[in-house]
Chains A and B, each alone.
Chain A
Amino acid sequence: MSAPVLEVRDIAKRFGGLAALDGASLALQAGRVTGLIGPNGAGKTTLLNVMTGLVRPDAGQVLLSGQDVTGLATHRYAALGVARTFQIVRELGSLTVLENLLLAPRRQSGEGVATGLFARPKWWREERANAAKARELLERIGLWKLADQPSAGLSGGQKKLLDLARALLLEPKLILLDEPGAGVSPPVKQELIRLIRELKAEGVSFGLIEHDMHLIGELCDEVHVMAEGRNLVSGTFREVIADRRVVEAYLGVAA
């Protein structure tokens, strides 16, 4: 098998006296949806933050397609093809829905002082091309009619969809979703499942943190269970939920 899209090895991270991660390892294979579950406080979000450069690990390695990227600045991860969404939706509220999407594409030539002023024809061409892509995506997720609205006015579910669409415009190899189903109405959840399946068919890899077992069961090819900052069990969804240690981690060990 070729190198995983993203791999973390023996990651440790302490916040003061709390060991959030303590030797966690994980590999996300290309073209698959990998689930990450575990009880609250297991270190799932911290691991996701390590995988996207938001948190620098105390020990361990992060490998992107086999290349060591541990400790790179956050924005470099996105440039290397890793996109993410956030658990609590963090929309760029004063930007319109369309602007949220136009922001995302990589290597925009109008993002410097001199080029912003003097390379107008060039970045306007890019802007139009990006807008066409944004339109396609917004139509796909049903937000096109809201394109000119400030994104602060969207509902929780719509913000989640916008977050995902924004990540897609990065044209990433891998998208890491932090609880995409939390606080989302059932129809929007169906919409999410459909979208992730379509994108997987198009060759995008996913990492998925979720508490909604229905969503995990529907989407994931492989599931990793974390507890207390470490891997507990890995396998298919069926194998994992049948495992006694997983039940114990969630419910506590019977004395």
Chain B
Amino acid sequence: MTAYLVTVAILVCEAALIGLALNFQWGLAGLVNFGVVGFVAIGAYVTALLAPELGWLPAMAAAGAISAALSTGLALLSIRLEENYLAIVTIGFGEIVRLVILNEEWLTQGALGIADIPRPFAALGEAFGGDLVFIAFTGALLAIVFLGLEGLARSPFGRALRAIRDDATVTAALGKPVFALRVRAFAVGGAVMGIAGALHAFYLRYIDPSQFTPIVTAYAFMAVIAGGRGSNVGLLLGAGSIMALLEGTRFLKDFISAIDGVQLSALRLGLIGVGIVLLLILRPQGLVPEPRRRVADVLPGGRD
């Protein structure tokens, strides 16, 4: 049971990392990205290929950097386009990544996948129990990313992104370099998705293309919608609730004997859908509103 809880905790952290990244791109800056899973996969494969040679930290840094670079490239190509086109381009990107990984066997070993990916602090893990050390590592990683993205969201940079999301023309008329800001927002999100991919590779220690299906992207969107667009705190709650629903419903079969495993897995996805619909009816703005700069934050004495 402990092992299972550990698994769930790490899955929640990974989902939260991916969700935070999407929340930055889409929630804050209004840039829709349906190719999330592509960036995560790139992060995971870069890590799997480089970690045995270079060690975990350079591999993870490379995962973030390469994913950010590809995000920048994709953004430069397509962000001038309207939101709908960006959606199409990113869907295409996610699919291209999957196909390249599947077919370029010299690099990725195709459908066989890559095994024996070393974990960070492996020696420490053997001394204290591998899962404990890895959970601490995962938690620290999530905390660092959260603090960084939350700091950015509350900075003038984040405010400019929110303004672009509301109305790009007005923001440009106010002298903000809309295109450059959008590209940067997309790159930051891409970097975090790459790091999430690195975590994925470290945890499973074996990756193959079947782990990177579009459902990963869908979960990230669910977490952002449930948490409230633009709110990182909400995102953590959102990712937590989505994973709780996803994992919690596994135990339905202990209570309902009339359905078999296949039916159950379909039912679980259905239940998550119902959960999202209920949430959108009862709380359309999401669980937590995005952070705003209040008078009391910047002026002593507040509004008096």
Contact = CB atoms under 8 A, between A and B. Distances in A.
A binds B: yes
B282 interface: no
Nearest to A152: B166
Interface in A91-134: 91-96, 98-99, 102-104, 106, 108-113, 115-117, 120, 123, 127-128, 131-132
Interface residues of B, number: 37
B61 to A, nearest CB: 16
B171 to A, nearest CB: 7
Contact of B177 (A75, A102, A116, A170): A75
A131 B299 contact: yes
A94 B162 CA distance: 8
Contacts of A127: 156, 293, 298
B148 interface: yes
Contacts of A247: none
B170 A92 contact: yes
B166 A95 contact: yes
Nearest to A79: B175
Nearest to A74: B172
Interface residues of A, number: 47
Contacts of A108: 156
Interface in A122-161: 123, 127-128, 131-132, 135, 144-145, 147-148
A116 B175 contact: no
Interface string B274-304: 0000000000000000101111001100010
A93 B165 CA distance: 10
Given A93-B166, A116-B152, A104 B295 contact: no
Contact of A128 (B171, B173, B188, B298): B298
Nearest to B178: A75
Given A84-B173, A104-B174, A131-B298, A116 B157 contact: yes
B201 to A, nearest CB: 25
- Central interface residue in B148, B176, B184, by most chain A CB within 10 Å: B176
